Amino acid sequence: MKTIQIPINIVRRDFYINRVKPFIGKQIIKALTGQRRVGKSYLLFQLIEYIKHEDANATILYINMEDLAFSTIQNAIDLSNYVLSNQSADGKTYVFIDEIQEVESFEKALRSLVLNQNLDIYCTGSNANLLSGELATVLSGRFIEITVYSLSYPEFLMFHKVKDTLESLEMYIKWGGLPYLMHLPKRDEIIYEYLKNIYSTIIYRDIVQRFALRNVRFLEQLILFLADNTGSLFSAKKISDFLKSQRINIAPNQVQVYLSHLESAFIIHRVERFDIAGKRIFEVGDKYYFENLGIRNAIWGYRLEDRAKLVENSVYNHLIFKGYKVKVGVIPIGEIDFVCERQGEKLYVQVALTINEKQTIEREFGNLLKIKDNHPKIVVTLDAFSGNSYHGIQHVTLQQFLMQ
């Protein structure tokens, strides 16, 4: 059994550790999912440190599927045999499996191992569908899945050891929240080179190889289209028609398949439209936002004309980090950027770059005033506004919103 080498000076992300703590020691699989390099491995190390602090004699079994030392573990049988042959003879063994999707049919091993009362299992994966489908049915009530996102703005400040200033906010919007950026010189060319390499790894390992895709050129063009149209409403058919104008012929159903692959690798998030009055989901037309704005900017460019898109994407990312289920709201005349629900509470959010003009004020606040319920409604803008409300609707700057 390989000795665990825990990195020194780990920056703690207690938001996620506190979500896992109630399940430590329980016969429930704890699965941390998220885009590559968002810090899932370091969260495993934090959990190991916490368990060792609570029980210095705890038996820890750590398996990193990206480490050649574990290359003999190829499939479910290999994984199961390795765990069982290295578990403690007496007492509980805490099993940590990093990037478990690299193990063929790993779900069969988990299904078997979770039955062992002396094993406490934790795993990470870079696939949004890690525990979906048949496994979710078989393991109903025996697993929790926690999505790990890029750093929130407060986490970004903590990792980079900077204060909450407009300059720090600009850095966050421009470079995104991958944790490793804290170790790099704060220069665009260096950071974007790193982000482009992460992007390539995700595209080729988590999408092209995993799904055996052949049309890589189309995949890359699709991502650029999404970067250019971040937060815009469109359908798979609209994308197909646009690409035909670029002499790339692909059917709408194939566009939908490629979009789902990008979602599964956490490159993008799809947001459905919701009819607020009719309480129904629209079947056609979605919006897409990037999980990491730094990666989006690295491949598309950090452009002045995109600031409104980046602000809207930042607001969306913060909402899902805070645990909201988010949809785009549709009203008879107009649209609500985000309809957010969490544990029975609802929140309506409008996003604008600026509200200095009367027309913009009437549109952004006016759409919210059309919703006749008592749930909180706020408008988020990049610039400041003299006064913090309009007819009872709260206004906050992006900086204030991200710090909430």
> What is the tens place of the pLDDT at every residue in 204-232?
999 999 999 999 989 999 999 999 999 99
Give the Cα separation of 103 and 109 in Å (integer): 9
Give the Cα separation of 355 and 8 in Å (integer): 46
Find out whether 80 and 107 touch, Cβ atoms under 8 Å: no
- Amino acid making up residue 139: L
Rounded average pLDDT over 382-386: 78
Residue 38: pLDDT above 80? yes
Rounded average pLDDT over 258-279: 91
Give the Cα separation of 287 and 283 in Å (integer): 12
Give the Cα separation of 395 and 377 in Å (integer): 9
- Out of 88-97, 105-114, 242-251, which region has the weakest mean confidence (pLDDT)? 242-251
Give the Cα separation of 258 and 29 in Å (integer): 30
Task: State the residue for tokens 């470079």.
Answer: 175
Residue 99: per-residue pLDDT: 96
- Amino acid making up residue 328: V
Highest average pLDDT, of 132-141, 295-304, 367-376, comes from 295-304
- Out of 43-52, 166-175, 389-398, which region has the weakest mean confidence (pLDDT)? 389-398
Count Cα neighbours of 23 within 13 Å in the Cβ-side half-sphere: 22
Rounded average pLDDT over 274-280: 79
Angle at 37 between CA 268 and CA 161, to 5 degrees: 105
Give the Cα separation of 161 and 163 in Å (integer): 7
Which domains, from first to last, does the chain contain? Answer: 14-147 (3.40.50.300), 153-403 (no CATH)
Residue 78: pLDDT above 70? yes
Find out whether 376 and 347 touch, Cβ atoms under 8 Å: yes
